[in-house]
């Protein structure tokens, strides 16, 4: 289920920039296809498409489960083609990996498009909070490795769940690291997923860079601190182009059969709702889930079109908050357990409406 053969975090030195690619103006909403003709797809993209096709075919033929494409983790923006330095985006992958587990538990098959080495469903409970060797001990009688008694019960439950998902071929894991890999892969997967019809859900929890350096402007080698690269007062000045906003393309063409949900992250609570409403109006998808960096593990807000549909979607957009109670926090509930049942209901309505 894991695409262990695909690696995204090590740049491919053979794929040095093609200087014959002309420079291009910043893509606007109308010409965002430019991005895909003027930037280079990852070398492994055909492999991804073939894995996704096999996965969809398997579920069409055998289970006809609902399928969720979940994006998770942050994208990077390389500053050099042979990347030593890059700009990163905040996101541990908690939202995506937790949501994946819950959707899998609720009968979905999941395509998990994640930042390589960020949190994964199931292993997330162990991978980032303790040295993994501390979960184990050596049995001094036969020198076999065992799980420490303290961790046995928790690990047993999670291992059972994981094996069930693995045996039923319900989880396909695809990595990305750079924003370019993310965009090409998202386009390929969402287009392929559209053939699955309304039983597909796109759940965009990844934190995607808003700015990037187009391939035509990317230095091939490590930026040197020589005078050539620096301003007269010794500053390194980097020009970043805006990343075209592709959500509209997913909604309108790439995956117009799918229910589409995006997340909106802000740090200023005074602008969160308005930004979520704006996104809903601009992209015309099904739901925006707003969250604040500071409280994202305890509360989220759903901003959706009002049932009283009109052209002024932003004015009519509905808000619904989901919050963990103190008791739930004490008992280690995760906010995704509280709001995902509503997402599943929304998706079921979407499926019923289109059938
Ligand atoms: O991965 P994580 O749990 O640390 O963070 C999740 C999140 C805050 C990145 C996600 O909920 C989110 O809001 N994603 C969209 C980010 C954006 O507005 O681009």
Q: DSSP letters of 134-176?
A: GGEEE-TTT--EEE-HHHHHHHHHHHHHHHHHHHTT-EEEEEE
Closest CA to 181 of 28, 11, 14, 314: 11
Please tell me the predicted confidence (pLDDT) of residue 10. Answer: 56
179 Cβ closer than 6 Å to some ligand 1 atom:
no
91 Cβ closer than 6 Å to some ligand 1 atom:
yes
CA distances for 339 relative to 98, 102, 113, 257, 351, angstroms: 12, 10, 21, 23, 19
Closest CA to 94 of 68, 114, 69: 114
Residue closest via CA to ligand 1's atom 16 equals 207
Query: SS3 for 75-94, per residue?
Result: CEEECCCCCCCEECCCCCCH
Closest CA to 63 of 189, 164, 194: 164
From the alpha carbon of 118, which atom of ligand 1 is closest?
1
* Ligand 1 centroid, distance to 195 Cα (angstroms): 28
From 207, 245, 273, 279, the mutation candidate for ligand 1 (largest count of ligand atoms within 8 A of CB) is: 207
Residue closest via CA to ligand 1's atom 10 equals 205
At 2, list the tokens: 């894991």
Local structure of residue 212 (DSSP, 8 states): E
Domain boundaries, the chain: 1-257, 270-355
Residue the block writes with tokens 């280690």:
332
186 Cβ closer than 6 Å to some ligand 1 atom:
no
Local structure of residue 236 (DSSP, 8 states): B
Please tell me the predicted confidence (pLDDT) of residue 33. Answer: 73
pTM for the complete prediction? 0.90
Residue 196: CB atoms within 10 Å? 24
264 Cβ closer than 6 Å to some ligand 1 atom:
yes
ipTM above 0.95, yes or no: yes
CB 96 within 8 A of CB 71: yes
289 Cβ closer than 6 Å to some ligand 1 atom:
no
CB 114 within 8 A of CB 96: yes
Tens-of-pLDDT digits for all 355 residues of the chain?
A: 666 677 776 555 445 444 344 433 333 444 567 899 989 999 999 999 999 999 999 999 999 999 999 999 999 999 999 999 999 999 999 999 999 999 999 999 999 999 999 999 999 999 887 788 999 999 999 999 999 999 999 999 999 999 999 999 999 999 999 999 999 999 999 999 999 999 999 999 999 999 999 988 998 998 888 766 678 788 888 899 999 999 999 999 999 999 999 999 999 999 999 999 999 999 999 999 999 999 999 999 999 987 654 444 456 679 999 999 999 999 999 999 999 999 999 999 999 998 7
Please tell me the predicted confidence (pLDDT) of residue 29. Answer: 47
User: What per-residue string of b and e applies to 31-40 under the rule 16 or more CB within 10 Å gives b?
Assistant: ebebbbebbe
The angle, 0 to 180 degrees and rounded to 10, between the axes of the packed helices 179-193 and 45-62 is: 30
* Ligand 1 centroid, distance to 204 Cα (angstroms): 9
Please tell me the predicted confidence (pLDDT) of residue 17. Answer: 43
- Radius of gyration of the chain from its Cα atoms, rounded to whole angstroms: 22
The dihedral built from the CA positions of residue 13, 36, 277 and 255, taken in this order, carries a sign that is negative
**Residues near 43 by beta carbon (within 8 Å), at least 6 away in sequence:** 12, 15
CB 258 within 8 A of CB 193: yes
Please tell me the predicted confidence (pLDDT) of residue 3. Answer: 65
Please tell me the predicted confidence (pLDDT) of residue 273. Answer: 96
Distance CA 261, CA 245 (A): 15
* Ligand 1 centroid, distance to 299 Cα (angstroms): 13
Please tell me the predicted confidence (pLDDT) of residue 348. Answer: 98
**Residues near 132 by beta carbon (within 8 Å), at least 6 away in sequence:** 126
From 205, 246, 340, the mutation candidate for ligand 1 (largest count of ligand atoms within 8 A of CB) is: 205
296 Cβ closer than 6 Å to some ligand 1 atom:
yes
Distance CA 159, CA 137 (A): 18
CB 109 within 8 A of CB 55: yes
* Ligand 1 centroid, distance to 120 Cα (angstroms): 15
From 291, 301, 303, 343, the mutation candidate for ligand 1 (largest count of ligand atoms within 8 A of CB) is: 291
Residue the block writes with tokens 């995956």:
255
Please tell me the predicted confidence (pLDDT) of residue 1. Answer: 63
265 Cβ closer than 6 Å to some ligand 1 atom:
yes
Distance CA 150, CA 215 (A): 50
Does 3.40.50.10300 match the CATH number of domain 1-257? Answer: yes
From 74, 95, 114, the mutation candidate for ligand 1 (largest count of ligand atoms within 8 A of CB) is: 95
Please tell me the predicted confidence (pLDDT) of residue 314. Answer: 53
Residue 270: CB atoms within 10 Å? 7
Residue closest via CA to ligand 1's atom 6 equals 95
């Amino acid at each position: 289920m894991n695409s262990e053969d695909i690696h995204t975090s090590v740049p491919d030195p053979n794929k040095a920039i093609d200087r014959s690619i002309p420079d291009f103006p910043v893509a606007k909403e109308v010409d965002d296809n430019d991005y895909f003709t003027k930037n280079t797809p990852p070398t492994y993209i055909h492999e991804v498409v073939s894995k996704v096709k096999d996965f969809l075919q398997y579920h069409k033929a055998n289970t006809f489960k609902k399928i969720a494409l979940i994006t998770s983790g942050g994208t990077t923006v390389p500053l050099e083609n042979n990347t030593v330095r890059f700009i990163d985006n905040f996101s541990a992958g908690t939202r995506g990996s937790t949501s994946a587990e819950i959707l899998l538990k609720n009968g979905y098959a999941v395509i998990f498009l994640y930042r390589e080495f960020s949190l994964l469903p199931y292993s997330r409970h162990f991978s980032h909070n303790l040295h993994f060797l501390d979960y184990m001990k050596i049995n001094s009688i036969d020198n076999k490795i065992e799980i420490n008694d303290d961790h046995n019960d928790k690990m047993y439950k999670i291992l059972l769940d994981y094996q069930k998902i693995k045996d039923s071929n319900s989880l396909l894991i695809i990595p990305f690291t750079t924003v370019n890999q993310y965009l090409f892969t998202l386009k390929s997967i969402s287009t392929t997923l559209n053939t699955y019809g309304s039983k597909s859900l796109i759940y965009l929890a990844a934190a995607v860079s808003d700015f990037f350096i187009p391939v035509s402007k990317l230095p091939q080698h490590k930026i040197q601190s020589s005078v050539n690269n620096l301003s007269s007062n010794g500053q390194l000045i980097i020009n970043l182009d805006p990343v075209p906003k592709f959500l509209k393309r997913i909604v309108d063409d790439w995956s117009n059969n799918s229910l589409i949900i995006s997340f909106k992250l802000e740090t200023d609570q005074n602008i969160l709702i308005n930004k979520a409403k704006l996104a809903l109006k601009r992209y015309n998808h099904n739901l925006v889930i707003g969250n604040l960096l500071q409280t994202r593990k305890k509360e989220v807000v759903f901003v959706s079109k009002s049932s009283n549909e009109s052209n002024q979607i932003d004015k009519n957009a509905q808000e619904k908050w989901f919050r963990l109670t103190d008791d739930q926090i004490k008992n280690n509930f995760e906010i995704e357990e509280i709001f995902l049942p509503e997402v599943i209901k929304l998706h079921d309505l979407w499926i019923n409406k289109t059938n």
